């Protein structure tokens, strides 16, 4: 075969071979790249990297078990949907101003990410801003951040953008 024909056929064969291994699918949660039928969340990866490069977490504090805000969040979650919520285990909690974002796991319920708003001496879980469930095969952080931003009227963007899942449920 001549060199000229080979140079024409090589890209064509390469495209055909790649197209047999790579594809796109759309599921309930969005678009996924598939490589040999294994889903890869390319969109989520790009969103996550962009978020990491552009966010400002200076006003966001990671809460510890001894923190009053942590204990407040734990109390609110334990009372939210008993009896299943009474054994909730907080995986991580962050605060910013009047807001607390909590990642929680349960024995009988799906894992959740909960937004809590404080006003004066009162605090409450924002009912529309509770993510519950898994996101596989989508990356959890970008998906949950997007969900929280969409569900809240005036979301605390820095707090939501600084959310990084810590629980085993989202790894």
| pLDDT tens digits for range 150-166 | 999 888 999 999 999 99
For residues 72 and 24, state if they share a domain.
Answer: no
pLDDT for the residue 31: 81
pLDDT for the residue 85: 85
Cβ-proximal residues to 169 (8 Å cutoff; 6+ apart), any chain: 91, 105, 110, 111, 134
| pLDDT tens digits for range 132-154 | 999 888 899 999 999 999 999 88
For residues 81 and 159, state if they share a domain.
Answer: yes
What's the domain count of the chain?
2
For the whole model, what pTM was predicted? 0.82
pLDDT for the residue 23: 81
Range of the domain at 145: 52-170
For residues 78 and 153, state if they share a domain.
Answer: yes
Identify the DSSP state of 55: -
Q: Is residue 162 part of a domain?
A: yes
Q: What percent of the chain has pLDDT over 70?
A: 97
Confidence of residue 104 (pLDDT cuts 50, 70, 90): very high
Mean pLDDT, residues 69-88? 90
What H or E segment, with its residue span, contains residue 138? none
Q: Is residue 10 part of a domain?
A: yes
Distance between CA atoms of residues 73 and 90, nearest Å: 9
Q: Is residue 46 part of a domain?
A: no
| pLDDT tens digits for range 8-38 | 777 777 777 766 777 877 877 778 878 887 8
For residues 90 and 17, state if they share a domain.
Answer: no
For residues 33 and 65, state if they share a domain.
Answer: no
β-strand pairing of 30-35 with 112-119: unpaired
Distance between CA atoms of residues 53 and 150, nearest Å: 21
pLDDT for the residue 1: 57
Q: Is residue 85 part of a domain?
A: yes
């Amino acid at each position: 075969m001549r060199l000229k024909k080979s140079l024409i056929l090589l890209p064509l064969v390469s495209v055909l071979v790649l197209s047999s291994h790579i594809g796109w699918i759309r599921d309930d949660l969005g678009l996924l790249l598939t490589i040999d039928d294994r889903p890869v969340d390319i969109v989520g990866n790009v969103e996550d990297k962009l978020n990491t490069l552009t966010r400002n977490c200076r006003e966001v504090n990671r809460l510890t078990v001894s923190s009053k805000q942590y204990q407040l969040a734990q109390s609110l979650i334990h009372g939210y949907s008993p009896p299943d919520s009474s054994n909730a285990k907080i995986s991580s909690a962050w605060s910013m101003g009047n807001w607390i974002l909590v990642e929680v796991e349960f024995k009988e319920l799906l894992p959740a990410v909960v937004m809590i708003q404080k006003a004066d001496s009162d605090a409450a879980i924002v009912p529309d801003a509770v993510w519950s469930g898994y996101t596989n095969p989508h990356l959890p952080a970008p998906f949950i951040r997007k969900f929280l931003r969409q569900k809240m009227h005036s979301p605390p963007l820095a707090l939501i953008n600084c959310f990084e899942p810590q629980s085993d449920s989202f790894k």
